[in-house]
Chain A
Amino acid sequence: MSEKISISIDGKEIAAEAGANLLQVARDNGIDIPGLCYHRRITPTGACRLCVVKVEGQRGLLMSCTLQVAEGMVVTAFDRELQESRRHTVDYLLAEHNDHDDGTYHDELRILASEYDLLDPAQRKVPNIFRSIGYRVDDTSPVLTYDASKCIKCFRCIKGCDEIQGKNVLSFSERGIVSHIIAGFDIWSESECDGCGECIQLCPTGAIVEKPHRETIKLDQIEKRVKTTCPYCGVGCQIELLVQDGMIVRANGVEGVSPNDGRLCVKGRFGSDYVANRDRLKSPLIKRNGKFEEASWEEALALIASKFSDIKENHGRNALAGYASAKCTNEDNYIFQKFIRIAFGNNNIDYCTRLCHASTVVAMLRSIGDGAGSNSIEDFALTDCLFVTGNNIIETHPVTATYVKQGRAKGMKIIVCDPKWTPLVKYADIWLQPKLGTDVALLNGMIRQIIKDGNTDTNFISERIKGGMEAFEELKELVEKYTPQIVEHITTVPSDIMIRASRMYAEASTAMIATGMGLSQQVTGTHNVFSLINMMLVAGQIGREHCGINPPRGQNNVQGATDVGCSPVNYPGYIPVGDSDNRRRMAALWNVPYEELDAEPGLSTVEIMHAAHRGEVKGLYIMGENPMVTDPDTNHTREALEKLDFLVVQDIFETETTPYADVILPASSYAEKDGTFVNSDRRVLRVRKAVEMPGEAREDWRIIAEIAARMGYSLGSYSDAGEIFDELAQAVPMMRGISWKRIDHQGIQWPCHDPGHPGTSTLFLGKFNTPDGKAVLNPVDYTEQTEKPTAEYPFMLNSGRILYQYHSSTMSRRNKALNDFANEAYVLMNLVDADRLGLRDGDRVRLSNSRGELETILRESTEVAVGELFMPWHFSEAMVNNLTRAELDPYSRIAPFKLSACMVEKV
């Protein structure tokens, strides 16, 4: 902590930290010195010259935004001369500025003009000249408009783009009075701007404004501003929704709170239009004679209850299963798992986490005792070295990536390990590009190198690893055969680069890992992560601040849904279903007989589908999932769904899955309900209702409780989500100290065991979460992938996500702004392959294998290696999962989405 000092501003004694920014200190203490270019989140610029002050002992007028406070500083912030100077400067700014105000944005200059009595042009000393300057408007971006005539050249947008978002897209063109902002080389739409809108949020004068809802929004007609959590990825950005006429018309990043402190990505800012989309499900639909007909809730609920009860009675409780949802709140999911466990009476509950980080979580649980990220989002800017593997973090976790880029700007080293080029490579020191599916070989090679270089942390190994040096010796022996030459042969990564990477990681004072789908979505997913953790453990890069392993979560609440028990093997709080003490505790909490809680692990996501295919599962309840797009081997999934006796799909839109349902229930979106999400850094965040649900749609948890009641089970009586949260906080030990009230302002990171606990920013500082508190090495050998390119199917297809769309795109594709950026499926193929096959960029191609086929557009690219392909999987018209297979990782039951042999031909 910095030294506390005392200064005086206009006679007021103020305590501050030495070196703090004077303008910020003044404002924090209620002395509102004007200033337009200063913003807490960016470095001071000193451009607007409004924050002038006088400091005793210093000559002339000084800019308070550029001064650091020091003991005994005597500051004058307001006197006649200063006010006169400010009035002049405001007058100047108004002179080059277009006064027209359409009421759609917050105008800080206008407020100042009013304060200095300059709103009326007659009061101004200098006449307006903006028209004569010929300022331009750049209207080319899909999401924003820049009007130079409103720009006061404060640098906030430029610095926001550079310093906060790390994108460096904006700059000035020309100089002097005609200078103006440009994106890239000039035209906004041709620049690298990805539409995050940081510049919009920072602009003090409405020179950069959003396009969506521009015609309708009127700030003075905003009914409410609701602080909530973004519904897209697992960063958990805090957003403020502006509601007008019952509709969300704008989203801003909430400043001053974690995890995002105001930042957003393009989806968070421009991705909420789907909420008011006319396709929303508005009433229950029952399939009659092959057609869906609107039905009353009463009818639908009664039908569902009776069908589920019948199946249970006739085929046993294991004939029922449910898919929970990473998109729903903890409260919805908690009630859902409670429903499965009480009303279905089994543990056949899972959801898409099985398809994303299941292997990571299994490996982490076994090795270090927790499947959640060990660090906080801020640590991504503070660590000395970041190893990013199989994780396109800039596109999939754009806001976490802003921290990475900030760290990079301060000298952090970055190693990217990915078979496909990702935007982070631009910022990276090293890019390791292993052949698809060879991660264990690469990581074992790195471990061997770390040992050879003497970069192992023997203290750490002896004290914090189970079996100490003995266990280490076992690993050492196993990795001995992974010489740089052999590793290069298997992975194609040049040995010198691999060696350099292993040294960079191990020799860094602190190092963190971010791992993603690239590693986890393989048949060897768990082995991959074991090997990754082994490397981390031998290098001792965990158990300290800014060290550890983090699997950034793909969905907004993938962390929370598992935390609250949507798992076939775990109860809330990761307590195994077999733990009878816990079941006893839960039976008491839920007020049900202990005996009725099934002690047997249930079926996992893909296993449920397999069981349905075999006719063993006959009734399925899907809440907010779209397995027709998200599950591997779509044809198999379709057959499975068709074989079900009874399928209920509860969602906000019709999806690729709903046609197979017997009943479709209209549910609520994130903006229509209260609750909580848990983000990737274990932060329990509030979700708040902003708008009303459409038609007869209902909150998910209420629907579930109604079905349970009709099946003869009580899930409890709750009047609102807050009551559910308070119960789940009791069920989940690591959330016990968190209450609805405590997270009102800002989320709290679990574990938080009691109400006085501040939450935990870094895990494993003292011990690991394993039974004996020690980490476990799990030496694993590289095994070749079972799926190999063949003469018939010579290409290996990789799949993944892009920034502008989201998962099965049910939500994202219902936003014009996002579609304007990217709304078309494609396959990336290396130029060499394309040349060889005589294919050209833009050609329509067919990809096929024994499991299925799809058609899409070819893009020639150097982003993928020769022999490999990449496709985004968001687009149902080119469903990647037609080609993937349902072969599972033996430990985690995850499917290998990243590796499918196929052929490509021109259509």
Chain B
Amino acid sequence: MHLLVCGGTGCRASESAGIEAKLKSELEKRSLDQSVQVISTGCFGFCEKGPIVKVMPDNTFYTQVTPADAETIVAEHVVKGRRVESLIYTDPSSKEKVEESAKMGFYKKQLRIALRNCGFINPENVDEYIARDGYLALGNIITGMKPQEAIEIMKESGLRGRGGAGFPTGLKWDLTARTEADQKYVVCNADEGDPGAFMDRSILEGDPHSVLEAMAICGYCIGSDKGLIYIRAEYPLAIERLKIALSQAREYGLLGNNIMGTEFSFDIELRYGAGAFVCGEETALIHSMEGLRGEPTLKPPFPSESGYNGKPTNVNNVETLANIPVIYLKGAKWFSSIGTEKSKGTKVFALAGKINNVGLIEVPMGTTLREVIFEIGGGIKDGKKFKSVQTGGPSGGCLTEKHLDTPIDFDNLIAAGSMMGSGGMIVMDEDDCMVSMARYYLEFTVEESCGKCAPCRIGNKRLHELLDHICKGNGKLEDLDRLVNMSNVIKDTSLCGLGQSSPNPVLSTINNFKDEYDAHVTDKKCPAGQCRDLMEYFIIEENCVGCTACARVCPVAAITGERKEPHLINPAICIKCGACMEKCKFDAIIIQ
């Protein structure tokens, strides 16, 4: 029997390490530690209900487990073979208990290719990866294929880069392979920077060998013996697991000189980023690895011609790489049979926001937004109304009700005014203000713009200011035109992808939620009630009994009134902290 405990960063934060330890000690107490293994895995994806413990082989999926539950699981499930009902997932709509993950709404529509091993194997044990056919693809290729043949398969598969831009991976390999040089590099871009995105981290934490294997395959194809993983230093668990994976792979002769006894040698080094968003842009990433300031430079030359240390360099994202070994095992046809016409395979999304099932999901390309949000995601929290979904992170856009049946792929999302990006997906409900949302993203871009090119450096700052004005009720109608105008200039003239896409949240919200902007600038109202400066706290005279509770709690003495008389809020003093409303037992305080 195996007890799989989620060891992803999310569940770790909810004490999954404690669960693991407790399970082990409970098993030890009962001398079951030889027959029952506790395995720490990568992320299961269902973070909303974490920490997850899965019991194999009977496939029981326990959710929201605490260390205190460990004893029960051992005593009941392991010893007595009885499922612990209280830990079994309850479907929110049918209210039925669902024991197996495959039958849960969250997992039903998912197809896990990149995440195939996450939550399934112990990422710190290379044997488990090998047992799942790990390194078989590499072996097949380096012993039986010419590099160009392997590249052709990659081209046929139709895999496109999962970092956001969707450039065909096979073509990229081909370009780098064709550039002559004494040294080439394979770089894994693990600088996941979108706020809220954690697919790359989860893959590295849950299945690091799939990335290493893919890098070695790429190295063989393009003629490189040196790989580099650029990973942000704030992913300590992923780094730790990569280090373990690297040393195990070297120990097994899967990396290093003469891999599997062939002429092919390949090894990988880790490089740590300091968390600048722009370093996810490949030229900036390369500069950062070289010890230079993480700033983008012009393309061409593309990294495939002149990259790290001026040598041809192939940069692929983590998720892209994780797809690769399985493509070689199952064939290009298999892979290209999944997805839409121009976007093959699956895509991992980090589902977040006002949604019931927050977590990491992987769906075939072509799945609709509706399926993702309402089936996998379990719909909007607290029965509120869906308003918008933001895809593509800070570079993406906000889509609305009318886009819900759009099949998700690279091209459709762009056509709808957003983008795939690296896979962030944030769902918003009726309480979310779209202007504030745009402002939030611009705040992020202003913070993360490297400052090299003028439009991005100054333009985004100015966009942010304008949005801030509008949120504070100082906006004018013509500001909306200026927003659009400035956004277009920034998009047209910025140097790298960051600036070229940073106005997207502004443009898409103006397009789709014009009325909300209008409300802010003309009526000076925030329909969602989010913009504090546009709110006013008000006491309904009829409801107020003059208990003085509100006046006593007000930190700035904005509320006056005699005992047992209706009170009054002075809007000039009020700082809109909301303390009075929370305190009032008579529903006498409202926001206008």
Residues of A at under 8 Å CB distance from B?
44-50, 52, 60-61, 63, 66, 85, 88-89, 92-93, 95-96, 125-126, 129, 152-153, 155, 171-172, 174-179
Instruction: Give residues of chain B (433-454) contacting chain A, Cβ–Cβ below 8 Å.
Output: 446-454
Q: Which residues on the A side are within 8 Å of B450 (C-beta)?
A: 175-176, 179
Is the beta-carbon distance between A49 and B493 smaller than 8 angstroms?
A: yes
User: Smallest CB–CB gap between B292 and chain A, Å?
Assistant: 9
Closest CB in chain A relative to B496 CB, distance in Å: 10
How many angstroms from the CA of A126 to the CA of B455 in the assembled complex?
Answer: 13
Bound-state CA distance A89–B494 (Å) is: 10
Bound Cα distance from A177 to B446, whole angstroms = 8
Specify the chain B residue showing the minimal Cβ separation from A52: B493
Is the pair B482, A125 in contact by a Cβ cutoff of 8 Å? yes
User: A69 CB to closest chain B CB, in angstroms?
Assistant: 14
> Cβ of B431: which chain A residues have Cβ within 8 Å of it?
none
Does A153 contact B452, Cβ atoms closer than 8 Å? yes
Pair A172/B489 contact, Cβ less than 8 Å: no
Are B293 and A47 in touch, CB under 8 angstroms? no
Q: A176, B461: Cβ atoms under 8 Å? A: yes
Question: Would you call A46 and B495 a contact (CB within 8 A)?
Answer: yes
Contact partners of A93 in chain B: CB under 8 A: 454, 458
A49→B452 CA distance, assembly (Å): 10
In the assembled complex, B462 has its CB within 8 A of some CB on chain A:
yes
Majority secondary structure, B binding face: helix
Inter-subunit contact B493/A172 (CB<8 Å): no
A47-B495, A89-B493 as given contacts; A152 in contact with B454, CB under 8 Å: yes
Chain B positions 110 through 136: 1 when the CB is less than 8 Å from some CB of chain A, otherwise 0: 000000000000000000000000000
Check if B459 is an interface residue, CB within 8 A of chain A: yes
Asked whether B489 lies within 8 Å of A88 as measured between CB atoms, the reply is yes
- With A92-B459, A129-B461 in contact, is A49–B451 under 8 Å at CB? no
Minimum distance in angstroms from A635 CB to a CB of chain B? 55
User: Is B457 interfacial (CB 8 A cutoff)?
Assistant: yes
B222 at the interface (CB under 8 A from A): no
A66 in contact with B449 given A88-B489, A89-B455, A153-B457 (CB within 8 Å): no
Query: In the complex, which residues of chain B have a beta carbon less than 8 angstroms from the beta carbon of A89?
Result: 454-455, 489, 493
| Of B454, B462, B465, the contact of A47 (CB 8 Å cutoff) | B454
A45 CB contacts on chain B under 8 angstroms:
452
Asked if A176 contacts B298 (CB within 8 A), the reply is: no
Smallest CB separation, A269 vs chain B (Å):
27
Task: Tell me the complex Cα distance, A46–B489, Å.
Answer: 15
Q: How far is the CB of B232 from chain A (nearest CB, A)?
A: 16
A176-B451 contact given A46-B298, A85-B492, CB 8 Å threshold: yes
Tell me the bound Cα distance from A63 to B454 in angstroms.
Answer: 13
| Cβ of B276 under 8 Å from chain A | yes
- Size band of the interface chain B makes with A: 20 to 34
**Is A176's CB under 8 angstroms from B492's CB?**
no
Which single member of A66, A85, A175 contacts B451 (CB below 8 Å)? A175
B486 within 8 A of A: yes
* Min CB gap A165→B, angstroms: 18
Q: Within 8 Å CB of A96, what residues of B? A: 457-458, 461
> CA A93 – CA B459 in complex, angstroms?
9
Give the Cβ gap from A41 to chain B, nearest Cβ, in Å: 18
> Which residues of chain B have C-beta atoms less than 8 A from A153's C-beta?
451-452, 454, 457
Are A175 and B453 in contact (CB-based, < 8 A)? Answer: no
Question: Which residues of chain B (445-492) have a CB below 8 Å from chain A?
Answer: 446-455, 457-459, 461-462, 465, 482, 485-486, 489, 492
- Residues on A with C-beta less than 8 A from B453 are 46-49
Q: Which of B276, B461, B482, B486 contacts A177 (CB 8 A)?
A: B461
B455 touches A92 (CB 8 A): yes
Q: List 14 A-B contacts (CB under 8 A).
A: A46-B298, A47-B452, A48-B454, A52-B492, A66-B298, A85-B492, A85-B493, A92-B454, A93-B458, A175-B449, A175-B451, A176-B449, A176-B450, A177-B451
Closest residue on chain B to residue A63 by CB atoms: B298
Which chain B residues border A175 with CB–CB below 8 Å?
276, 278, 448-451
Contacts of A177 on B, CB cut-off 8 Å?
446, 449, 451, 457-458, 461
CA distance A171 to B298 in the complex (A): 19
Which A residues are CB-close (under 8 A) to B461? 96, 129, 176-177
Chain B residues lying within 8 Å of A52, measured Cβ to Cβ, are: 492-493
Sample of 10 further A-B pairs with CB below 8 A, known A49-B495, A172-B451 = A46-B297, A52-B492, A88-B485, A89-B489, A92-B454, A92-B462, A93-B458, A175-B448, A176-B446, A176-B448
Q: In the bound complex, how far is the Cα of B26 from the Cα of A785, in angstroms? A: 86
| Binary flags per residue of B293-335, CB closer than 8 Å to A gives 1, else 0 | 1000110000000000000000000000000000000000000
- Structural contact, A60 and B492, CB atoms closer than 8 A: yes
Residues in A whose Cβ lies below 8 Å from that of B458:
92-93, 95-96, 126, 177
Q: How far is the CB of B183 from chain A (nearest CB, A)?
A: 14
Residues of B within 8 A of A66 (CB): 298
Cα distance A669–B495 when bound, in Å?
50
Shortest distance between the CB of A283 and any CB in chain B (Å): 58
What's the Cα separation between A537 and B293 when bound, in Å? 45
Q: Are A85 and B457 in contact (CB under 8 A)?
A: no
The smallest C-beta distance from A346 to any residue of chain B, in angstroms, reads 62
Shortest C-beta distance, B217 to chain A (Å), equals 32
Residues of A within 8 A of B298 (CB): 44, 46, 63, 66
Inter-chain CA distance A88–B489, complex, in Å, is 7
Query: Nearest B residue to A49 by beta-carbon distance?
Result: B493
Nearest first, the 8 A-B pairs at minimum CB distance are: A179-B451, A92-B458, A49-B493, A176-B449, A88-B489, A66-B298, A176-B451, A46-B298
Residues of chain A within 8 A (CB-CB) of B459 are 92
Name the residue of chain A whose CB is nearest to the CB of B446.
A176
**Smallest beta-carbon distance A180→chain B, Å:** 9
- Which of A44, A61, A129, A174 sits near B493, CB closer than 8 Å? A61
Q: Name the residue in A46, A63, A126, A175 with the highest tally of chain B Cβ atoms < 10 Å from its Cβ.
A: A175
A374–B329 alpha-carbon span in the complex (Å): 65
CB distance from A14 to the nearest CB of B (A): 22
- Taken together as a complex, chains A and B put the C-alpha atoms of A176 and B455 apart, in Å, by 11
Q: Is the CB–CB distance between B454 and A49 below 8 Å?
A: yes
Q: How far is the CA of A746 from the CA of B514 in the complex (A)?
A: 64
Please measure, in the bound complex, the distance between the C-alpha atom of A126 and the C-alpha atom of B454, giving whole angstroms.
Answer: 14
A21 to chain B, nearest CB (A): 12
Minimum CB–CB distance from A186 to chain B (whole Å) comes to 15
Q: Note all chain B residues with C-beta closer than 8 A to A95.
A: 458, 462
User: Which residue in chain B gives the minimum CB-CB distance to A133?
Assistant: B461
A176 vs B494: C-alpha distance in the bound complex, in angstroms? 13
Closest to A87 in B: B489
Chain B residues within an 8 Å CB radius of A129: 461, 465
- CB neighbours of B492 from chain A (8 A): 52, 60-61, 85
| Minimal beta-carbon separation of A61 from chain B (angstroms) | 5
Question: How many angstroms from the CA of A46 to the CA of B500 in the assembled complex?
Answer: 14
Q: Which residues of B contact A179 (CB under 8 A)?
A: 450-451, 457
**Judging by beta carbons under 8 Å apart, are B486 and A88 in contact?**
yes
The distance in angstroms between the C-alpha atoms of A63 and B495, with both chains bound, is 9
Measured in the bound complex, the distance between the Cα atoms of B496 and A63 in whole Å is 12
Contact yes or no, B493 A126, CB < 8 A: no
B447 in complex: contacting residue of A46, A47, A176, CB < 8 Å: A176
The residue among A46, A155, A172, A174 with the most chain B CB atoms within 10 A of its own CB is A46
Closest Cβ of chain A: how far from B441's Cβ, in Å?
A: 15
B residues near A171, Cβ cutoff 8 Å: 293
For A47, A49, A93, A153, which residue has the most chain B Cβ atoms within 10 angstroms? A49
Interface string of B517-538 (1 = CB under 8 A from A): 0000000000000000000000
In this complex, what residue of A is CB-closest to B296?
A46
User: Across the interface, which residues of A come within 8 angstroms of B276, CB to CB?
Assistant: 175
Q: Separation in Å of the A90 CB from the closest CB of chain B?
A: 9
Which chain B residue shows the least CB distance to A178? B451
Bound Cα distance A167, B46 (Å): 54
- Residues of A contacting B446 in the complex (Cβ-Cβ under 8 angstroms): 176-177
Among the interface residues B278, B452, B485, which one has the most CB atoms of the partner chain A within 10 A?
A: B452
User: Which residues on the A side are within 8 Å of B494 (C-beta)?
Assistant: 49
Of all chain B residues, which has the CB nearest A88? B489
Residues of the B chain whose Cβ atoms lie less than 8 Å from the Cβ of A88: 455, 485-486, 489, 493
